[in-house]
């Protein structure tokens, strides 16, 4: 074998191979059929460099399927409903028509427009005041399979691509917060708190106590609170009449004298 200077890749391989005890046996390529066929991938065939030609990246069939599910079917219904409801929003239509008659095109840019039976605000379909319809639109962009229960901002972004109404962000936020599926699937940001552990059972009575106050009571004989001391083993309870807002020292005295 010839002595040669290794490049960094060869040097790394040489170092790696030096850990093993092995001998190399040369097999001529005519006799290495099995190993050879296993190492050949289908896409390594001859003329493989030509199979990138004449390809359509976004295939027509993909577009059609998406179209059918979301836009044609359900959205057309919504647009129809909005058109029918136009009467409900006379005020908006009146304002827009007035604007047009007066020839004020520059009123807040082209913010409001009439397009056929639809009122557009900044190119988005204005949705009339109809809670059912709004919910239907949000549902379309949140619950339908393609939308996939996005979060508040994702859903808002999808809805406002085509629609607008006053308070759309708030309405979408409320809808997403109340979505039953989202509540069930929500990822917890914190680690689980751990298993519920039983409290230790005391060995003797009056070993472990719980102390609490009952306050905001009516003033009777100068007292308006009750100190409650409870033994965890015997379940015995002491009630001591006292006042709210006492000092630590008074509490200690009360405890020593009564319990
Ligand atoms: Zn959801």
Q: 103 and 165 share a domain?
A: yes
In a domain, 235, yes or no: yes
144: in domain: yes
Same structural domain for residues 248 and 153?
A: no
* Spacing, Cα 182 to ligand 1 middle (Å): 4
Tell me if 250 is assigned to some domain.
yes
Structural domain boundaries enclosing 220: 209-258
CA of 204 to the centre of ligand 1 (A): 53
Please count the structural domains in the chain: 2
132 lies in the same domain as 215: no
* CATH number for the domain that contains residue 154: 1.10.340.70
Query: What is the distance in A from the centroid of ligand 1 to the CA of 37?
Result: 50
Residue 40 counted as domain residue? no
CA 233 / ligand 1 centre spacing (Å): 48
Do 118 and 167 reside in the same domain of the chain? yes
Asked if 154 and 86 sit in the same domain, the reply is yes
* 14 assigned to some structural domain: no
Separation between Cα atoms, residue 158 and residue 149, nearest integer Å = 11
- Which residues are within 8 A (CB) of 66 and not within 5 positions of it... i.e. 6 or more apart? 146
Residue 9 covered by a domain: no
Q: Based on the domain organization, do 71 and 166 belong to the same domain?
A: yes
Residues above pLDDT 70, as percent of the chain: 75
Q: Which residues fall within 8 angstroms of residue 246, CB to CB, at 6 or more apart?
A: 254
Per-residue tokens: 1: 């074998």
Same domain, 118 and 229: no
Distance 125 CA to ligand 1 centre (A): 24
Instruction: For residue 136, tell me if it sits in a domain.
Output: yes
Q: H helices then E strands: how many in the chain?
A: 10, 7
Tell how far the Cα of 229 is from the centroid of ligand 1, in angstroms: 48
Answer yes or no: do 170 and 245 share one domain. no
Are 121 and 227 in the same domain? no
The DSSP element (H or E) to which 119 belongs, if any, is strand 118-121
- Domain end, chosen from 126, 152, 185, is at 185
Q: What is the pLDDT of residues 156-183, one digit of tens each?
A: 998 888 888 989 999 999 998 898 888 8
What pLDDT is recorded for position 239? 92
Q: Report the pLDDT averaged over residues 189-206.
A: 80
Which tokens in the block code for residue 241? Answer: 């009449």
CA-to-CA distance for 162 and 158, rounded, in angstroms? 8
Interval between CA 65 and ligand 1 midpoint (Å): 23
Lowest mean pLDDT among 118-127, 211-220, 234-243: 118-127
Q: What is the pTM of this model?
A: 0.43
Asked, for residue 47, whether it belongs to a domain, the answer is no
* 214 shares its domain with 128: no
Between CA 243 and CA 227 the distance in angstroms is: 9
| 131-155 pLDDT, tens digit each | 888 999 999 888 886 778 888 888 9
Q: What is the pLDDT of residues 58-99, one digit of tens each?
A: 666 555 444 333 455 677 888 888 888 766 677 777 777 777
Shortest CA distance to 213 belongs to which of 246, 236, 235?
246
Token couple for 55? 């390809």
Residues with CB under 5 A from ligand 1 (ion): 149, 179, 181-182
Q: Is the dihedral of CA 120, 135, 166, 155 positive or negative?
A: negative
| Cα 152 to ligand 1 centroid, rounded to whole Å | 9
pLDDT for position 110: 66
């Amino acid at each position: 074998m010839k002595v040669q200077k290794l490049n960094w890749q060869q040097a790394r391989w040489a170092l790696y191979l030096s850990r093993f005890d092995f001998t190399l046996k040369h097999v001529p390529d005519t006799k290495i059929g099995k190993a050879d066929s296993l190492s050949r991938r289908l896409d390594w065939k001859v003329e493989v460099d030509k199979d990138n030609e004449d390809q359509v990246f976004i295939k027509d069939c993909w577009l059609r399927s998406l179209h059918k599910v979301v836009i044609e079917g359900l959205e057309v219904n919504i647009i129809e409903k909005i058109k029918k409801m136009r009467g409900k929003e006379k005020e908006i239509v009146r304002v827009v028509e007035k604007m047009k008659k007066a020839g004020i095109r520059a009123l807040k840019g082209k913010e409001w427009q009439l397009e056929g039976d639809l009122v557009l605000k900044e190119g988005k379909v204005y949705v009339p005041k109809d809670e059912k319809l709004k919910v239907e639109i949000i549902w379309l962009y949140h619950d339908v399979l393609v939308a996939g229960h996005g979060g508040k901002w994702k859903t808002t972004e999808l809805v406002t691509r085509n629609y607008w109404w006053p308070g759309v962000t708030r309405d979408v936020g409320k809808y997403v917060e109340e979505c039953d599926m989202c509540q069930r699937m929500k990822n917890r940001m914190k680690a689980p708190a751990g298993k519920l552990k039983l409290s230790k059972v005391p060995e003797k009575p009056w070993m472990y106590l719980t102390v609490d106050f009952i306050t905001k009571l009516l003033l009777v004989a100068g007292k308006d609170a009750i100190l409650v001391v409870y033994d965890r083993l015997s379940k015995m309870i002491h009630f001591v009449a006292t006042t709210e807002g006492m000092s630590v020292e008074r509490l200690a005295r009360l405890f020593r004298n009564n319990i």
